[in-house]
Amino acid sequence: MQQLLSEAQISEGIARLAAEIESFYDGHRKLTIIGVMTGSVVLLADLIRRLPRTIRVGLVQARSYRGASTTPGALTIRADMLPDVRNRDVLVVDDIFDTGQTLFELFLELDELGPASVRSLVLLRKQGRSKVPIEPDHVGFDIPDRFVVGYGLDFEDAYRNLPYVAALDDAELAAGPPP
Ligand code: IMP
Ligand code: MG
């Protein structure tokens, strides 16, 4: 396992993202932040505590079964979990932008609900992987095309609780998650 981002680097990145959000949305707009479960929960908790404004927080579940494979399976979105977003400014928060399929499909679902605006924020963006015509609006860090874990990201449900981001090598991926 090779550490890619330390706790201190992540913390600086979150501070930078929070400052971007504060300067983009003026203080009078009713911002609704929607975290994509489960990978975004650590990021969500750290990010919202750096926003001094009044916000609403919601969660949505988007699941593409893939394990160690980097090819996403069919995506299921639990849109019934979404809060009322009509006429609201929505910021979708996810752990990583890989192929972009999750954010792309989520944007299509959200558009049906009549929000005032929808933008996105991700901690990580993998280089050279996008298969969709959108890019995230706020990006913490661009990373190489490796399978990463920690700070919310999992390998078959393991490693979400690591406080840093690390890349697994091929042998570690082939060996499977820890028991
Ligand atoms: P996308 O739909 O291909 O952009 O993938 C986004 C989702 O796939 C993320 O929310 C993650 O749950 C998962 N994912 C993509 N790459 C990785 C990775 O390197 N490690 C762990 N999960 C990943
Ligand atoms: Mg995810």
> Of these residues, 46, 89, 94, 98, which one is catalytic?
98
Query: Residue 175 belongs to what H/E stretch?
Result: helix 170-175
Rounded Cα–Cα distance for residues 94 and 124 (Å): 9
Report pLDDT digits (tens) over 53-112.
889 999 999 887 665 555 556 778 887 888 899 999 999 999 999 999 999 999 999 999
What pLDDT is stored for residue 75 in this prediction? 77
94: Cβ below 6 Å to ligand 1?
yes
Rounded Cα–Cα distance for residues 136 and 92 (Å): 9
Residue 95 appears among annotated catalytic residues: no
Q: Which residues contact 176 (CB under 8 A, 6 or more apart)?
A: 68, 156
What pLDDT is stored for residue 64 in this prediction? 75
pTM of the predicted protein model: 0.94
CA nearest to 138, candidates 153, 151, 120, 126: 120
What pLDDT is stored for residue 29 in this prediction? 74
